Amino acid sequence: MQWIETFGYLGGLMTLTTFSMKTMLHLRIAGIVSNVFFISYGSLGHVYPVLILHLALLPLNVWRLRQLLRLTSQIKGIAAGRLSMEWLKPFSRRKEFVSGETLFRQGDAATEVMFVLSGRFRAIEADVALERGDLIGELGLLTRDRTRTQTVVCEQEGALLLVTYDEVRQMYFQNPGFGFYFLELVAERLMRDATRMALVRNVETRSGSANTSAP
């Protein structure tokens, strides 16, 4: 029986190892190895409660691992190109908006980020149009007070994918690569807004110079 108990000790060691894992990917792999050892121990040693428990946990860990691997592959695929909404759908909910509807107002509590699927929306204070593939509400995740920095309204009937900040954090912890991709989206938005503001100031400066030089 001693060699059978070795499987139990190895399963316990792998379970202990999961507590030192820094990423969900490695945690799931260690969990699967632990399940296999415990299933072997429970089966050969006729320890049925252990056997039943890990027979139930093994497919769950395999399923979660497949989800993580698929998410990793999708993130790598979209990091070099335009945002695809398909990979976000399992982590989000869809919401429809009609023309004239207000999504949120400046100063409101911020709890989720939104991806435009269709239609057209506008950030009022910045006077920026938001269309398919654009990101809405990401700055609320990065600010300490967690409030909306813009009022956003629907100009043309459309749909959004809503992802809570908690889901965004979970995706980041499951795959740090997502965090870098998310920051790329935020940086792209900030650069676009900065470029637009610079153009507006340039036009205003030229207009002021023209008015000053006019007789």
The answer as to whether 20 is a domain residue is yes
Residues 73-102 have pLDDT tens digits of 665 555 455 445 555 666 678 899 999 999
Quote the tokens at residue 90.
């399992």
CATH number of the domain to which 118 belongs: 2.60.120.10
Query: What is the span of the domain harbouring residue 25?
Result: 2-68
Residues 130-172 have pLDDT tens digits of 888 788 887 777 777 788 888 999 999 999 988 888 877 777 7
**Dihedral over Cα of 102, 134, 87, 27: its sign:** negative
The average pLDDT across 53-57 equals 92
Cβ–Cβ under 8 Å, residues 160 and 94 = yes
Cβ–Cβ under 8 Å, residues 133 and 168 = no
Number of domains in the chain: 2
Residues 15-29 have pLDDT tens digits of 888 887 767 778 888
Residue 31: count of CB within 10 angstroms of its CB: 24
Residues 90 and 64 in one domain: no
Helix 48-79 to helix 24-44 angle, to the nearest 10 degrees? 160
Closest CA to 88 of 112, 55, 54, 57: 112
Residues 155 and 64 in one domain: no
**Beta-bridge mates of residue 120:** 156
Residues 200 and 98 in one domain: yes
Residues 64 and 91 in one domain: no
As a whole number of Å, the end-to-end CA separation of the chain is 105
Last residue of a domain, one of 36, 68, 100: 68
Residues 6 and 40 in one domain: yes
Residues 150 and 192 in one domain: yes
